[in-house]
Structure 1
Amino acid sequence: MSSRSLNRIVLIGNLTRDPELKYTPTGTAVCTFSIATNRSWTSSDGQTKEEVQYHRVVAWQKLAELCGKLLNKGRKVFAEGRMTYRTFTGKDGVLRTIAEIVLDDFIVFGEGRKMTETVAEDKKVETESVIEAKPESSKEETVNPDDIPF
């Protein structure tokens, strides 16, 4: 019997851009966005230091559609998922590896109405009413610190 393992990521941070909702050729919803998290500490010389980390997040199926509807740039969220790595060939022909969090669940902070009401409304939305977007090739995400709303 092999030992068990755990791959769990939990983040609380702010979206650095609006989510990008697309559909695969088979009609599966996929939504990508980025979350920034901050860490501050006092150095040995007494100065306060701050560090920002950017996390690429991807959601699939119904969760992707909810992300596309409920999230926007600057919104604070709790996100839970698992870390994955994938490789692709860039437009320059170079093989690249990208780390991303596959979203399992999320909570939106600062929302005016209850999430249960929003989820109930979203269950009425049918995927046929959503226009399919043409899938793009994978590309690395770069975030300009000046574009971050905090």
Structure 2
Amino acid sequence: MINRVTLVGRLVRDVELKYTLGGTARAWFNLAVTRNFKNANGERDSDFIECTVWGKSAESFVNFTCKGSLVGIEGQIRTRSYEKDGQKVYTSAVSVDSFALLESKAITDARRAGQPVTTAGKDDNVFVAAGNGENIDIADDDLPF
């Protein structure tokens, strides 16, 4: 069976970070992913997808993102259930294996400071963090597209 998900979208709010009793970091967030087609009003709808990332990757994700950040994630869909008012409720979320930050640090810092964000004159480097937490700097010239 195959259970792989790749998404690119924007963070709906700042990422929440908590630690388990054993000290493992857990971050969760909602990712707004715009659909490729327009609705009857000529507007694009978005899906809001719950995501979770664990460990050192969770701490890195929180440190380098904020509400509105453009990110790419890869992971697996996980479903869980719980009881609420005598009914069994099922929820699904993406368990993130790796992520890519698709905006420069300057843009993220501007968002955090509440300043208007523009892409004109942006930094050409993109910070990418793999699931193992290592940092990679990639310039636009290095990309095949």
Tell me which interval the TM-score lies in, with the shorter structure as reference length.
0.5 to 0.7
Indicate the structure with greater strand content. 2
Q: CA deviation at 1:89?
A: 3.0
**Identical amino acids, percent of aligned pairs:** 28
Q: Normalised by the size of structure 1, how large is the TM-score?
A: 0.66
Return the letter of the residue paired with 2:99: F
Return the letter of the residue paired with 2:76: R
Distance 2:18 2:101 in 1: 21
User: Residues 42, 72 of structure 1: CA spacing in aligned structure 2 closer, same or farther, 3 A cutoff?
Assistant: closer
Unaligned 5+ segments in structure 1 are 121-150
Q: Which residue of 2 aligns with 1:86?
A: 80
RMSD: 2.5
Q: Which residue of 2 aligns with 1:10?
A: 6
Q: Which residue of 2 aligns with 1:115?
A: 127
The aligned length equals 113
Q: CA deviation at 1:49?
A: 4.2
Q: Which residue of 1 aligns with 2:60?
A: 66
User: Residues 93, 63 of structure 1: CA spacing in aligned structure 2 closer, same or farther, 3 A cutoff?
Assistant: farther
Q: Normalised by the size of structure 2, how large is the TM-score?
A: 0.68
Measured against aligned partners, the alpha-carbon deviations of 1:80-121 in whole angstroms (never above 9, x if no partner) come to 11000011234x45432110000011111112365369956x
SS at match of 2:2: coil
Larger radius of gyration: 1
Asked if structure 2 preserves the Cα contact closer than 8 Å seen for 1:87 and 1:97, the reply is yes
Return the letter of the residue paired with 2:95: V
